[in-house]
Structure 1
């Protein structure tokens, strides 16, 4: 029986970190992970992070595409991974 888990992340950075944890440590295939914006517009999340944030000698950008959270969906064929996937998403601040 397959299960789909979904997490919503405030930044693309958090989503990317969670995805890497899923692939590298839990062994989820990248083809079973789907990423989308929460709404109809392209989005880098709902908060400034990563290269859009303030860096040494440079102010934070004000043109980031902040049009909603990043949704990461994971299709699981093995329900044994449900707990580990949920924990990994929550570790990187996903709303489940």
Structure 2
């Protein structure tokens, strides 16, 4: 998988709400009503990530979920990260 350029990443970020680009990858965070809601969404995202064979770096503290996506094999952000980011957006927005 080809690593995207900074310009390609910034352009693709325009189609995602609340995501930003840092040295670690593309990142976002979500705040839910409570831990149960956050964990429920994490579980749904986990199944999608497993199906895509692409796994996020994430942390969960009570009702907050922070996600960073990067393709380690490519040494940066690839189209695969944007595909998972879009799936995450769809899962969260379906709630």
Give the TM-score normalised by structure 1: 0.49
Instruction: Report the structure number with the largest CA radius of gyration.
Output: 1
